[in-house]
Structure 1
Amino acid sequence: MAGLYEIWQRAEVSRRLDVLSGFIAMCVAGDDDARRRLAQLVADADAALSASPPDLSVASEHLDELVWWADTEWADHPYRPVEARPDEADRQTRDYAKDLRHAALPVRVRDRMVGIELSLEVGFLALCRQPGLDCRTRQDIFYVAGRAAMALDLGHLEAAEREIRRMEQVGSVEQRESHCG
């Protein structure tokens, strides 16, 4: 299975390719030659990303060509996509990476992940809806839920389950303390 760093790199290039190729496709809608050129660049980049192992340098070269094309032809276009801020780019790339990672997992592991994700979401929402949670406990619940989500992203199912139990303990301790006080 591909390493996490490789998956992240593939996801980053894929995300940027999707955004930029969509913009260019809109701009070249009536130009058959430009549409063919775009289709070939995207197909070559996709082939490089789908290779085993993926050829990130070739895919990046095709991406660079798309960037150059957009910069020279449509730099002032009002809908020209701008590079996302680092935090937003990471969130978007994380979504792509999750999809790539998910596709590489066996079906039984994916099924187990879905159950853990559901358990995390339901437990998190139930804890957040508890009346009388103080700010610190609420922060602790968010923190531990984030750790569980990160463990799932990395494919560490046992760690995710452990963090869910920890999140539930944080909420149950707060609930006991509020009933005793």
Structure 2
Amino acid sequence: MGALPQATSGKSQAFGPPPVLFCPPPSMPGRLLRRGGGVPDVYGIMLDAELSRAFDVWSGYLNARTGEDPQVRARLRDTLLSARTAAAEGESARARALVAEMYDDARDAGLPWAPVSSGPRAADREARDYAKDELRQVLSVALREDLDSVAIYLRVTRRRLGAASGLDAATREDILYVSARAGMALDLGHLPAARRELERLEGIARRCGVER
């Protein structure tokens, strides 16, 4: 989950100014932090879920007997302990950097059974799975249902646009751009922004003669 993508084509700029989304600093600690006005910090929860999953994966690996280089595994244990300590002290950015260092260290050492870093899409999916129970606690039923509804319409609209023929490169770029913004809004639990991006995607579909 990174920064929102920037528009690069002329068509993207025609949509007007983008909605303002809440982007907390990377060092924001704790799952229970909230934004102003008592709004749950969904982004912080997702970041913590990424770390929790990484800690569990690495702990499981290091607790298993794999017969790999004991010195490298000892070094990985020390790094994992440092990452856990950093997370507990609210230094989330440092904790994530240490986890990334573990993946690099294991890869460079050629450890065949060590965890492998997931790609961005898989990592987001895994983080959502880890965070789902906590998100149920901090997001109201009505909000979750509304977010799910927007997500369904987004998938359907994007699938139909993807199957449409004759779309030029600029239009396809706009589709990817708006879809990425919509996904970020959903990850943040920001319903107005998610709806806004859905409207933009539906506008593209109408111009292309694609019905929802």
- For the pair 1:22 / 2:52, whether they are aligned, the reply is no
For residues 122 and 55 of structure 2, what CA distance do their matches in structure 1 show? 13
**Residues 79-128 of structure 1: per-residue CA shift (max 9 Å, x gap):** 1225x38xx3x545533553426333122211221111111101110111
What is the 5 A alignment of 1:80-91?
80-82=114-116, 84=117, 88=119, 91=121
Distance 1:24 1:109 in 2: 39
Go from structure 1 to structure 2 and tell me whether the alpha carbon gap of 1:115 and 1:128 turns closer, same or farther (over 3 Å shift): same
Q: Output the aligned Cα RMSD.
A: 3.6
Give the distance between the partners of 2:178 and 2:44, measured in 1 at CA: 27
- Structure 1 residue 7: deviation in Å? 2.3
Which residue, out of 174, 179, 189, partners 1:155? 189
Query: Post-superposition, which runs of at least 4 consecutive aligned residues in structure 1 deviate over 4 A?
Result: 54-57, 90-93
Q: State the one-letter code of the partner of 2:135.
A: H
Counterpart position of 2:174? 140
Partner Cα separation in structure 2 for residue 127 and residue 109 of structure 1:
27
- Number of residue pairs matched by the alignment: 142
User: Structure 1's 7 and 92: CA in aligned 2 closer, same or farther, altered over 3 A?
Assistant: farther
Of 145, 161, 165 in structure 2, the residue corresponding to residue 131 of structure 1 is 165
Give ranges in structure 1 of 5+ residues lacking alignment.
29-37, 177-181
Q: Whose relative contact order is higher, 1 or 2, with alpha carbons under 8 Å and at least 6 apart?
A: 2
Q: Could you list the runs of 5+ residues in structure 2 that have no partner in the other structure?
A: 1-31, 34-40, 67-76
Shift of the 81–19 alpha-carbon distance from structure 1 to 2, 3 Å rule, reads: same
Report the 3-state secondary structure (helix = DSSP H, G, I; strand = E; otherwise coil) of the residue aligned with 1:155.
coil
Name the SS for the 1:133 alignment partner: coil
User: How far does residue 20 in structure 1 lie from its aligned partner after superposition?
Assistant: 0.6
TM-score for the superposition, normalised by structure 2: 0.53
- The 3 A distance-change label for structure 1 pair 153 and 5 is closer
Deviation at 1:175, TM superposition (A): 3.0
Q: Contact (CA 8 Å) 2:185, 2:191: kept in 1 or not?
A: yes
| Structure with the higher helix share, 1 or 2 | 1
Question: Given residue 153 of structure 2, which amino acid in structure 1 is its aligned partner?
Answer: S
Instruction: Give yes or no for the alignment of 1:113 onto 2:143.
Output: no
Query: Matches of 2:152 and 2:206 in 1, distance apart?
Result: 19
Match of 1:95 among 125, 132, 137: 125
The answer to whether the 8 A contact 1:145-1:163 is kept is yes
Identical amino acids, percent of aligned pairs: 35
TM-score, with length taken from structure 1: 0.61
8 A contact 2:157–2:205 mirrored in 1: no
Q: Is the 8 A contact 2:53 2:127 kept in 1?
A: no
> Cα–Cα, structure 1 residues 122 and 135, in superposed 2: closer, same or farther, change >3 Å?
same
Map 1:165-180; keep pairs closer than 5 Å.
Answer: 165-175=199-209
